[in-house]
Structure 1
Amino acid sequence: MQSSAKTVADYLNEIPEERKPAFFKLRETIANNIPKGFVEQMSYGMIAYVVPHSIYPKGYHCNSKLPLPFINLASQKNYIALYHMGIYSSAELLKWFINEYPKHSSSKLDMGKSCIRFKKKDQIPFELIGQLVKKMTVADWVSLYESQINASK
């Protein structure tokens, strides 16, 4: 469910009222924990935390006009989604997250490759998400991203 919102403020206004408290707290958790250098903006119809072109001029390999994506946050039809490219790219980080999740939430982990789905807004493990967001600096992410891109060539 992609939004056509052009700004983060417009996107936030579209979120259903009953979901706003959890969504806003998740956004705040990310903002309070994300390492310096990432920038919040809209990308792919979601709130995105990206490495700006001023830091990584090459941009995203799929479309170099876009900055390098790292985390996206979305209000989907039936859940809140957190897309974390570090989990997708680092087996070590994924393993850490999977092992830590049951310590922070009574709900079963629902995730795809980079997508963590939160269907029960009262069971979002905010503390764990804060820890996850802190784990990778801009330099760490760019290095991992480049190693993945070079390995696929």
Structure 2
Amino acid sequence: MPPERRRALKAVRAVVLEHLPDGYLEAVNWGMISYEVPLAASGKTYNGKPPMLAALANQKRHMALYLCGLYCRPALEPDFRKAFAESGRKLDMGKACVRFRALDDLDLKAVAKVVAAVPMQEFIELARSAHRKR
């Protein structure tokens, strides 16, 4: 990985770890660094995988930060989008995937707020509820 990408991912990882609510674990899953609920806490899941709150990946054309808290708590998204707009940054986001090419493309304060916003027990309930709706 190019040094500038390594520095960017390292900086984003530090922000995630600093603001990650208690109980989540850092792991490597799905080919990326993930921040997930231990299966011992979540219980059996529909796919046998731990529920993932966030993840970091190095893709071919960009880096990606998956913020599943935005997906499961849609009320967080307007403030997240507003923070990017107010910072003058262009948000490149799918449902929960924020794509960025450089560290300066991210509003790290907004990222920290979203990561910190979903305590583990609440995330477990949201994940269960989402699965029951399928």
TM (norm. structure 1) is: 0.81
Amino acid aligned to 1:92: A
Partner of 1:6: none
Distance 2:22 2:67 in 1: 17
Higher relative contact order (CA 8 A, sep 6+): 2
Query: Could you list the runs of 5+ residues in structure 1 that have no partner in the other structure?
Result: 1-14
Using the TM superposition, give the Cα deviation of residue 70 of structure 1 relative to its aligned residue in structure 2, in angstroms.
1.5
TM (norm. structure 2) is: 0.91
Distance 2:122 2:82 in 1: 21
1:78-97 pair list within 5 angstroms: 78-97=61-80
Query: What is the aligned-residue RMSD (CA, Å)?
Result: 1.4
Query: Could you list the runs of 5+ residues in structure 2 that have no partner in the other structure?
Result: none
Residues paired across the two proteins, number: 134
Amino acid aligned to 1:26: V
Partner of 1:34: 20
Distance 2:96 2:75 in 1: 14
Q: Say if 1:106 and 1:123, in contact at 8 Å, map to a contact too.
A: no
Using the TM superposition, give the Cα deviation of residue 98 of structure 1 relative to its aligned residue in structure 2, in angstroms.
1.6
After superposing on structure 2, the runs of 4+ consecutive aligned residues of structure 1 that deviate more than 4 Å are none
Indicate yes or no: 2:8 matched with 1:22.
yes
What do the CA deviations read for 1:108-137 (whole angstroms, capped 9, x no partner)? Answer: 110001100112332321122111110000
Q: Say if 1:47 and 1:72, in contact at 8 Å, map to a contact too.
A: yes
